[in-house]
Structure 1
Amino acid sequence: MMLLPTEAIGSIPRSPELMHAQRQFDEGKIDAATMEALYGEAIEQTIRAFEATGSPILSDGEQRKSHNFVTYSVEGAKNLAPDGLEIPFQDGHVRRLPRLTAGPFHFLLNAYKTFSVAKRFTALPLKQSIISISALSLLYPAESLPNYSREEFLNDLVDEQEREIRGCFEAGAYKVQIDFTEGRLAIKLDPSGGLLNAFIELNNRVLTRFSEEERALIGIHTCPGADHDSTHSADVDYAELLPSLFELKAGNFYIAMAGEANPERALKIVARYLKPNQRAFIGVIDVIDPAIETPEEVCQRVLLAARYIPLEQLGTTDDCGFSPFCDDVSTTRETAFAKIRARVLGTAMAAEQLTNEQGMLHE
């Protein structure tokens, strides 16, 4: 049977039991060993539920990234203060990044360490999501730190992410996906495009350290945020982001699309700037819409994308991860997995129709 590739972004809502345990751990009521055991159980449960959806590629659901997908690598660092950059969301709530207070900067937790836990529970391919260093670059304050320049900080960031990506591949990751949710936000923070260009350049400093074959297994995810069923940059025109996005030297791009006001216009932009050696995984699931898509609805979204993107460069995904922050209870695990199953079934439905009509897809 001929298929289109389909992959999740990564995050899956935590269970109420895991969120309760996280609060207890933060309050010092349970120890680290107990918490690690609970994380292991949560990862195994997530893997089993992913398998039940029929997903060909799995994720650990980012269950071990205890508080959020942005700062998992530096949680507990002594050289961070809580009063960093504020990120306002459309519904009025605000997320705040920590602020670096001194150097040097190093990761305390690498994603490849959590990946090795997930690998124990399945024989299916596993992808690993990691945060971009452009997002982490926002931790450096506006004023220079004594004895630790911004350029020294960026050099450390580049080294740390190269190490993280290589570690994930060495641990057996099928793909490594870099979460670049700040790409669209960058235009909101700096309408001149200067910040976005700096983000592209910084990420490419990492990506150019890998071979073309390795970059074919590295992906970039972009979305306008998805936290408490709200976004931080959906009002930014995709036309201001997408041309620059495909300058990133990666082989795969996971692009939020189902929640777009005008997806057909955005698909035309993707088609214009997508390079021959890149694949666009188009979002066909709106993760902040509580309604569960039907496979037929997903199929129609795939068929629309196939009108503009060459089939050999097309894949499907969800617009974003589900509940990437641990306190987001706007989406249940049951809803998330139901939406994922609809994507898997709808993608297969579209692939069959495209195969029958055009004979252009091959195993």
Structure 2
Amino acid sequence: MSIPTEPIGSVPRPAALHHARIQHANGRINDEELAEVQAQAVADTLDRLEKLGSPVLVDGDQAKPSAVTYPLDGFTGLAPDGVAVPYADGHVRTLPRLTAGPFRYGVRADAYLRTARQHTELPVKATAVAPSALSLLYPADGIDGYPRDTFLDDLLAESEAEIRACLDGGAHRVQLDFGEARLALRLDPSGGVLDEFVALNNRVLERFTEEERARIGVHTHPGADQGSTHSLDVDYAALLPRLFQLAAGSFFLQMASEPDPERVLAVVAGTLRPDSRVFVGVTDPLDSAVEPAERVRDRVLAAARHIPADRLGTCDDAGFAMYADDTALSRETAFAKIDARLRGTELAARELGL
């Protein structure tokens, strides 16, 4: 396909996996039995994406508890009452609170990548949480004997090790989820918190060579959980100039659900670094209606009026189920939307003569 197109990451889990997770939480099945169901879901996800003709695959986050908290699996220095993230529909996701150091990842994204690559010869993307998100684990009142600066040094070392292991493990791309970027502007319209997040993430990205950073991307979105968002009301114009300061090779932007995409695309065109590619969202994971391929085509063509074709790609607005318990969108609908993205992108490429 002459216009690159990639999935963002998560895909709704099958009913069997949802059931197995509940059984595991209730002590009715053991870790090995849950892992077997997760492995089956990963294999099915990769197989279905491959049959749709997706040029780049993901494991759909089938074995992750969430796209944010997976590194915490097995780490014990946590309490449940951390930073709360409110969504527009009233539901809240609460991050854990760090209670002791040193901070270490319990699980890294390269473990999921290795499993996925056992099932396919096609390129596989690795998705990882940005260190800025995990920086929110540290409590405002500090931790005795474990200063925040020491925590951040440990966090950045863990993030670097994760990204490097994914690159060395053959990832087509390592995509950092930076969903807290837009939320930061909602909480602090001055941009101070966002600037801190960008600086923190750059402290990791700048440890990689230019060739390595070409294989690292950043995804930003206004939240996508249980059919709701946490920061869709935040103006992209305040975010994008800061976002594009990140030393990443590609950027994945929610766009299909954007109220005024033409205005935002103009901002992208005026602020995107000349050495970066932007993947624009052309399907909305919060809308249960499947976009016709022709609508996807038109969204791609609209983007191509602002962004040179050699720097343009397409994606979904966000993952379809960032948290393992999110059942707002069906698995079948998610794959139908992915199919529409693939077909619509190809239609646009043909119309553009690519």
Q: Same fold (TM over 0.5)?
A: yes
Paired residue type of 1:40: A
Give the equivalent residue in structure 2 for 1:16.
15
Q: Which amino acid aligns with 1:207?
A: L
CA-to-aligned-CA distance 1:122-171 (integer Å, 9 cap, x gap): 11100011011100000100011101011111101110011001111222
> For residues 160 and 78 of structure 1, what CA distance do their matches in structure 2 show?
16
Distance (whole Å) between structure 1 residues aligned to residue 146 and residue 74 of structure 2: 20
SS of the equivalent of 1:241 reads: helix
**What residue is the counterpart of 2:80 in the other structure?**
82
Q: Deviations over 1:209-250 (max 9, x none)?
A: 000000000000000011011000000011110010000000
- TM-superposed deviation, 1:18: 0.2
Q: Which residue of 1 aligns with 2:162?
A: 164
Shift of 1:77: 2.2
Q: Distance in 2 between matches of 1:142 and 1:189?
A: 15
Q: Who is 1:45 aligned against?
A: 44
1:73 equivalenced with 2:95 (yes/no) = no
Post-superposition shift, 1:22? Answer: 0.9
Q: How does 1:63-142 map to 2 (within 5 A)?
A: 63-65=62-64, 67-142=65-140
Alpha-carbon distance in structure 2 between the residues aligned to 1:16 and 1:131: 25
SS where residue 224 of structure 2 aligns?
coil
Q: Distance in 1 between matches of 2:11 and 2:114?
A: 18
In structure 2, runs of 5+ residues without a counterpart are none
> CA separation in 2, counterparts of 1:149 and 1:70?
23
1:285 aligned counterpart, secondary structure: coil
The Cα offsets for residues 308-335 of structure 1, whole Å up to 9 and x where unpaired, read as: 0011110000000001111111111110
Aligned to 2:323: 325
Matching of residue 224 in structure 1 with residue 208 in structure 2? no
Q: Distance in 2 between matches of 1:275 and 1:70?
A: 27
In the TM superposition, residue 37 of structure 1 has moved relative to its aligned partner by: 1.5
Cα distance between partner residues in 1 of 2:17 and 2:45: 12
Instruction: Indicate the residue corresponding to 1:29 in structure 2.
Output: 28
> TM-score, normalising length from structure 2?
0.99
**Partner residue of 1:190?**
188
Partner of 1:358: none
Superposed displacement of residue 189, structure 1: 1.4
The answer as to whether partners of 2:216 and 2:249 remain within 8 angstroms in 1 is: yes
Match for residue 350 of structure 2?
352
Give secondary structure in 2 for the equivalent of 1:63. coil
Structure 2 partner of 1:268: 266
Q: Given that residues 74 and 107 in structure 2 are in contact (C-alpha distance below 8 angstroms), is that contact kept between their aligned partners in structure 1?
A: no
1:145 corresponds, among 143, 146, 156, to 143
Distance 1:190 1:153 in 2: 23
- What residue number does 2:276 align with? 278
**Equivalents in 2 of 1:47, 1:15: separation in Å?**
13
Which 4+ residue blocks in structure 1 deviate beyond 3 angstroms? none
Give the TM-score of the pair, scaled to structure 1: 0.96
Mapped partners of 1:338, 1:293: distance in 2: 9
* SS at 1:221 equivalent: strand
RMSD: 0.8
Partners of 1:190 and 1:10 lie apart in 2 by 28
- SS of 2:85's partner is strand
Residue identity in the other structure for 2:223 = G
- AA partner of residue 102 (structure 1): A
Alignment map for 1:199-238 (pairs within 5 Å): 199-238=197-236
Alignment of 1:337 with 2:335, yes or no, is yes
**Does residue 251 in structure 1 map to residue 249 in structure 2?**
yes
Supply the AA of the counterpart residue of 2:193. L
- What SS class does the counterpart of residue 288 from structure 1 fall into? coil
In the alignment, the residues of structure 2 paired with residue 330 and residue 33 of structure 1 have an alpha-carbon distance, to the nearest angstrom, of: 28
Counterpart amino acid of 1:347? T
Name the aligned partner's letter for residue 54 of structure 1: G
The letter for the 2-side match of 1:233 is S
Give the gaps of 5 or more residues in structure 1: 356-360
Amino acid at match of 1:337: F
Residue deviations 1:287-322 (CA, integer Å, cap 9, x gap): 101110011000000000000001111000000000
Superposition deviation, residue 203 in structure 1: 0.3
Distance 1:188 1:266 in 2: 18
Shift of 1:76: 3.8
Q: How do 1:295-334 residues align onto structure 2 when only pairs under 5 Å count?
A: 295-334=293-332
Identity %: 53
Tell me which moved more, 229-238 or 70-79.
70-79
Deviation larger for 4-13 or 73-82: 73-82
Post-superposition offset of 1:270: 0.6
CA distance in 1: counterparts of 2:282 and 2:104, whole angstroms: 36
In structure 2, distance between residues paired with 1:32 and 1:88: 31
How many residue pairs get aligned? The number is 354
